[in-house]
A and B are shown apart, each in its own frame.
Chain A
Amino acid sequence: QSALTQPASVSGSPGQSITISCAGTSSDIGAYIYVSWYQQNPGKAPKLMIYDINNRPSGVSSRFSGSKSGNTASLTISGLQAEDEADYYCSSYTSTSTVVFGGGTKVTVL
């Protein structure tokens, strides 16, 4: 199975909104609501930010939101802050009962 496709990098100024895309297929993102997003800071384990397309775990800022259209999911960070600078990964459940991750997107706050 191929990794989901994410842009290598996205940048924005403090206070702006940015959106990270995650392209999959009809066998993963297109078929299920089971899309998640993770934030990873250098040297740290990933942190779950969004699950089931657009749900936030307790403690995750409401500035993070998710959506899905067809075979593509998106993560939007509104009111960008310096602390949001990190790597972000999407993931999806697949038709073979496995999970596939995206290649990751480095978010830079200018």
Chain B
Amino acid sequence: EVQLVQSGAEVKKPGESLKISCQGFGYSFTNYWIAWVRQMPGKGLEWLGIIYPGDSGATYSPSFRGQVTISVDKSINTAYLRWTSLKASDTAIYYCARPRGSSTNCYDFWGQGTLVTVSS
């Protein structure tokens, strides 16, 4: 059974750094892209970017390029989303998602979400 298991909720202060994770189970991790999607409180879905674990190649939304870094450690089937200096506006639920087959754009498996709260 395909599963994406994300790391637990985080509470951070503005200016702090953070890395959250998404571990894949039940499939060949290096053969499928992993995307990250943000959902701010009470708001819609926003696409941050996507990475291919096979070669660590990543593409970012123009809105998020430079704001976050997506990486992967294929030895432990895990993708990461990292911030170097959090802002209050980064408060959101962050989902990782795996696309169907070789596509990069439609996601049929999702993690449970990681709630990130940034508050002084």
Instruction: Give residues in A with beta carbon < 8 Å to B.
Output: 1, 3, 34, 36, 38, 40, 45-48, 51-52, 57, 87, 89, 91-93, 96-104
Question: Closest CB-CB distance, A92 to chain B, in whole Å?
Answer: 8
Inter-subunit contact A96/B62 (CB<8 Å): yes
Option from B60, B61, B106, B111 in Cβ contact (under 8 Å) with A36: B106
Question: Closest CB-CB distance, A35 to chain B, in whole Å?
Answer: 9
Inter-subunit contact A57/B100 (CB<8 Å): yes
Chain B interfacial residues counted at CB < 8 A: 26
Inter-subunit contact A93/B100 (CB<8 Å): no
Count of A-B contacts with CB under 8 A?
Answer: 73
8 A-B pairs whose Cβ atoms sit less than 8 Å apart in the complex: A3-B46, A46-B97, A47-B110, A57-B100, A91-B45, A91-B47, A98-B62, A99-B50
Inter-chain CA distance A87–B42, complex, in Å, is 11
Option from A45, A89, A91, A96 in Cβ contact (under 8 Å) with B110: A45
Inter-chain CA distance A1–B48, complex, in Å, is 12
Instruction: Give residues in B with beta carbon < 8 Å to A.
Output: 35, 37, 44-47, 49-50, 59-63, 95, 97, 100, 103-108, 110-113
